[in-house]
Amino acid sequence: MSKDTLSVTDNSTGKTTEFPILRPVHGNPTVDISSLPKDLDYFTFDPGFVSTASCKSDITYIDGGKGVLLYRGYPIDQLAEKSSYLEVAYLLMNGELPTKAEFEDFDAEIKSMSMINESLKSFFNGFYHDAHPMAMMTGVVASLSAFYHEALDMHDDEHRRLSAHRMIAKIPTIAAACYKHSIGQPIVYPRNDLSYCENFLNMMFSVPAEEYVIDPVAVKALELLFILHADHEQNASTSTVRLTGSTGANPFACVAAGNAALWGPAHGGANEAVLIMLDEIGSVENIPKFIAKAKDKNDPFKLMGFGHRVYRNFDPRAKIIREMCHEVLSNLGEENPLFELALKLEQVALEDAYFVERKLYPNVDFYSGLIYKALGIPEGMFTAMFSLARTSGWVAHWLEMMEDPSLKIGRPRQLYMGAAMRDYVPEAER
Ligand code: SDX
């Protein structure tokens, strides 16, 4: 009996089978059960994939117990302090930090792709002004494949690289266009003399009537927020991108599918839901009432921005964003009662046995919206900001999956609990 196998005995037949144990670089040893149906004629049952590894990946590692997040082995706090979002996007896709020359080439290519086809701009006019930005982004991103027929062979390395770069280059232009449409202002073209985050701020807030001065505090805050949101291993939206890509769908359709998954309030939609919740709580006096609601099993209310499938400790991103909140809000001279309320809510929750027992801590979404709001970005755009940043992680996982020679179409099984086989009943006998 090898030490690197797990023995499983079927007590109904007495048959024992050994399954290989896979040893990762970091993280839990993992049992390879792919031969289970053939060896023992069984499936496994794991709703929500709580204990199921869907793939092998080299990109990101999370230690939920220690609150550690690594992008290609580099700790998130070091990247947040020393890197830029575009450099992190390069790292996620290529596995190594770029040399100066490599980054300059990458930056130049991204800039050369940042415009969207003029006829794509008319798509926005098809939306009513109060369309949710995520509805617009999902629709417009999915339609991108209609403009690049010449590079959609998913088995062609160059086509895949080109599509990945096009996605990263155009997503800020699309996100800003969603915002401009919602406020009735003209869509602003990208500018190649600006950095990725400077360009996004200019497309969001400049108007033809006057010069827009880009605030370096806002640029630094965006670089940090985008780095922190860039990737997070096999979360719901990234798993959606992978499942969609496993069918051979084009990367624009895959990213649109990920965008749709991220929109949910249990996932990336939480940053918008946190601000709505803080507005609803209103004052420190109301905190106990909402903490009680969050603990009440008969009340569907959850403390938005709290809890995580993987982190059983502080989300390292939440700690970094909380510290940045102080800097951004004081730099912008913003009195921010919502930030004070959030700090108090965090303190009360983390002293409450319900949250402590369940290891529920603030996650990345708890503070991020406060900074977006301080930068003048409306709540409806918060999830679009998350989607913009996560696009580099989505395309990195899509590239990794498409380059895997063992790629198979994703097709989970089920535990069928429906009606047993039966014959059709004529209407007269029903
Ligand atoms: C993101 O996966 C990722 O990596 C995602 C993400 C990324 O970068 O891609 O990190 C981004 O999505 C962050 C999460 C944002 N969502 C929210 O803030 C919404 C509020 N959080 C919850 O919906 C919840 O915590 C989840 C969805 C985040 C995690 O849910 P799980 O892992 O399925 O946990 P669970 O529901 O099984 O909770 C365990 C217990 C339950 O109570 P009991 O049945 O054991 O009594 O904790 C309770 C839950 O009811 N619980 C909460 C709670 N979160 C969990 N109770 C009140 N408030 C909460 N927020």
Q: Which atom of ligand 1 is nearest to the CA of 305?
A: 18
Looking at ligand 1, which atom is closest to the CA of residue 229? 8
pTM, entire model: 0.95
The residue contributing the CA closest to ligand 1 atom 8 is 232
Rounded CA-CA distance 13/173 in Å is 61
Short-list 168, 174, 273, CA closest to 230: 168
Angle in degrees, CA 86, 87, 93, rounded to 5: 90
pLDDT along the chain (430 residues), means of 10: 85 92 96 93 95 97 96 98 98 98 98 96 93 96 92 91 97 98 96 98 97 95 97 98 96 97 95 95 96 96 95 93 86 80 93 95 92 93 97 98 96 97 98
Query: Does the beta carbon of 360 lie inside 6 Å of ligand 1?
Result: yes
Full strand arrangement of the beta sheet holding 5-10: 5-10, 15-22, 30-31
Output the residue whose Cα is nearest ligand 1's atom 1: 267
Cβ 308 under 6 angstroms from ligand 1: yes
315 Cα–ligand 1 center, Å: 12
Radius of gyration of the chain (CA): 24
| Residue indicated by tokens 């409450």 | 352
Token duo for residue 87: 């450099």
With a 6 Å cutoff on the Cβ, whether 358 touches ligand 1 is yes
Q: Residue 198 is which amino acid?
A: E
Amino acid 2: pLDDT: 65
Residues in the chain: 430
**Catalytic residue check, 193:** no
Structure tokens at 125: 């006019």
Q: Is 308 a catalytic residue?
A: yes
Catalytic-labelled residue, pool 165, 181, 232, 308? 308
Residue 1: per-residue pLDDT: 60
